Chain A
């Protein structure tokens, strides 16, 4: 389990407008590229000083590759990161204000307290 890496994906996609669009249009391709090229980059270090050990589990990779935010919630991805990025991805597809945010809540309706642990 690599909650940290799930969060790192959500964080680094969310802060880059081009990657937000790329992930919306091609989630599986973006996840594959990101895990190969970006997962081990330490964000404030030169490229050569990267980590060597970070990779997704199959379940995590699949959840990201299918935009499956209820699954990401179940896996303990940070709720704020998932929400923020997925609003950027899908709010535009809903005519009503907060339409996507309410759909998001409905899709998580089966979760009860305590929620999955987001500690990393």
Chain B
């Protein structure tokens, strides 16, 4: 059976590429610290020696639209083109092409459906920065095949937070039952408190630093019950109007397992939002 070599949860800040590659005169003052933290985080994935990446993210109204919006979707294709004109325009993100691990997509869909998750699928999916930002930060050589999984954290009505946790648990079990000798890293990207298109956006910190501290503690300690006791679809509007992206972190807590502390935790307090990076090694890692 496949080995889950790493579980990784990360924010996806679309400005990282631009901040880290800007010429010296345009380089923001926080760029060096940010690059240092991202490179250290990248090393936590490299040490796990993955062969395949399961990438959990959320389409930002690119290919998914309100006339036909899946709650959870698994890509099943040999390739995924990536990034969109408006991401190139706003963030300077490049067009990319990622390879797909189609047999793992097939396995996830079949087993996920049989486990009670009515997963949508796509045979022609163009992924966006929720998938590509973690590739840029964690695996910039973009040399590994992926299975993209999209969640709806964007358009009400959304699934309940506990459903994200349950799907994370199911993904863990299903990947572990994949008849393969490959090493799989499961990577998910979300947000801590975040405001987009509201009065609290683009402040000197994230819109709710107190929520961010609590959220980091939940994730770092694997405190799923603590998170579920406080986080509801209604409560997530309060820390910032785009904070439902935290449910992707809750999904990753489900993958990592209740009560399982992260093996690596780092944060960076930036303008607009806090960056947060977590890695678990379910089966240990070579020192």
Contact = CB atoms under 8 A, between A and B. Distances in A.
Interface of A: 4, 7-8, 11, 14-15, 17, 42-44, 73, 78-84, 87-88, 98, 101-102, 104-106, 108-111, 113-115, 118-120
B241 to A, nearest CB: 5
Contacts of A108: 198-199
* Secondary structure call for the A interface: helix
B23 interface: no
Interface residue tally on B, bucketed by range:
20 to 34
* Secondary structure call for the B interface: loop
Contacts of B201: 83, 101, 104-105
B242 A80 contact: yes
A43 B67 contact: yes
B157 interface: yes
A83 B196 contact: yes
Interface of B: 60-62, 65-68, 84-86, 89-90, 154-157, 196-203, 237-238, 241-242, 271
B85 A115 contact: no
B198 A4 contact: no
Given A14-B86, A79-B198, 20 more contacts: A15-B84, A15-B86, A73-B197, A78-B61, A78-B197, A79-B197, A79-B241, A80-B154, A80-B242, A83-B201, A88-B86, A98-B202, A98-B271, A102-B202, A105-B201, A108-B198, A108-B199, A115-B198, A115-B237, A119-B157
